[in-house]
Structure 1
Amino acid sequence: MITSSTVFEQWATAHQQRAEQALASTLPSADTQPERLHAAMRYAVLGGGKRVRALLSYAAAELVGAPASSADAAAVAVELIHAFSLVHDDMPCMDDDDLRRGKPSCHKQFGDATALLVGDALQALAFQCIADTHAPQALKQVQILAQATGSRGMCGGQDIDLHSTGKRLSRDALETMHQYKTGALIRAAALLGAYAAGQTEEKHLTLLNQYSQNMGLAFQVVDDILDATADTHTLGKTAGKDALQEKSTYVSLLGIDEAKALVTTLYEQTLQSLAGFDQQADSLRGIARFICERPF
């Protein structure tokens, strides 16, 4: 029997492969000078990851009636920004992790200096990818991506995180930190996909903003639960680091059971917000289920 879950899995697999192929063709080849830098960029980006942000771009394009091809640049751009953040986050001056996606972190494989340049180059390439479309909406997409990446987005969230180690944050402060660190790029992924259509209705933007807020928070809560309960092999990165580094998390603040209840609430709210949309929102529903039902 083909279930809605099976349909989504087929859709997700096809679009993950599409994103992987687009990333592979966008990244410079490893035999192009400077070869070591380009090899390290490909190492950091390709062959791993769930491509959730790329899937969000494709799903948002579907919501507004645009073909998947129109969202390729958006999907690539958000995955490049995400990869850049992971490379820098793993470095000794940040979270200092030797493992990422089940293999040595970029700085362990290529050295700190090359890893720093990899992150810088991936960020630049993300914006070039959007600009190279020459689409009328490219400037708006660049604006959205820049805000999500900068001091009022991902970089700002990382700074708050670094300077909150050893401190007990309030729930509001913790949510603000993760709205920046995790939620901002998830929101950008969805909005970039919607703008790929070249035109958007207010109802779509309102929905995607609400959806992204719920799913950005749910993604982080689930990550916190998995860090506390899963092993390193399952995660593909070092497990238990939040507790070791005395970081405030939803688990340390709420406990496991209440954190799981929060994920359930966010998922139910998301499904409710999508109730007014038909099959065009099925991929968004599937992504929400995937984010919230990761095993923990």
Structure 2
Amino acid sequence: MPALPKRLLAVLLGLVTAAVVLVPAASTQAARAWAPESTAVIKPGVQMLTAGAQCTANFVFRDAAGNVYVGYAAHCAGKGKSDDVNGCTTPSLPMGTAVQFVTGGNFFRPGKVVGTGRLAYSSWASMQKLRTKDANRCALNDFALVRVDRASVAKVNPTMPVWGGPSRIVSGTLATGSAIYTVGNSSMRTGKAVAKTGKILGSAGGGLGYHIRTGNPGIPGDSGSGFLDAQGRAAGVLSTLNIGISLMPVTNTMGNLGAELAWAQRYAGIKGLVLVPGTRPFKR
């Protein structure tokens, strides 16, 4: 049996709704030949293991030096408990921590390790270094990057399974009611990536994030998974699950990837950090 995500759902009483962290991957993009989508094993939706915690990869990124990165949520490398959602106070694992890319992990088998990388950036660590006090950013800036080891780069393709894309980053914020598309891959399910659709319920934190709903809610292990909008643009990163004993359906919170990437470009110390577009166009 594989190591289960270390962050479990909180048990709530009454009608209170709570947010719980979910858990627990040539020198220019034009010059790089990505692995064919049909054979690539490191891509959006792949499982990522960090110190026993499992998350889902969102998108692929590169820098000016030609290094390749896979994104997930910063709390995937956090050292807190399931209800430690404040990225400005919750400790994180150090940069350089080993991360594995895994396929097929579930309750009954650990899955196959298909590649490796190292933690290269954490928004949580950066905010703590800067002594950030903005409550909205502390709660919603939940993004990290894993630098893919050189031996594993040839296995990477940046295309979102099923949907295709991304084409680019969403600039600004999405309107309430906007459609969203994602792929989750929690080891609490079958170990296969699950394509899901949903919508934006409203913005959060002054546009730093969104409240969202999908037909199959994000659960522990789906954390870090990426969301596309109806144009195939990279829109967000799954962060928390909102649960409560009430008539309201289960919802999730995702960070605004545009804001999260802008923060990383400013504070990660990674020169020329950009999103890599998918090799296949987005199609609903």
Q: Same fold (TM over 0.5)?
A: no
Could you say which structure has the higher strand fraction?
2
TM-score by length of 1: 0.28
Could you say which structure has the higher helix fraction?
1
Higher relative contact order (CA 8 A, sep 6+): 2
TM-score by length of 2: 0.29
| Bigger CA radius of gyration | 1
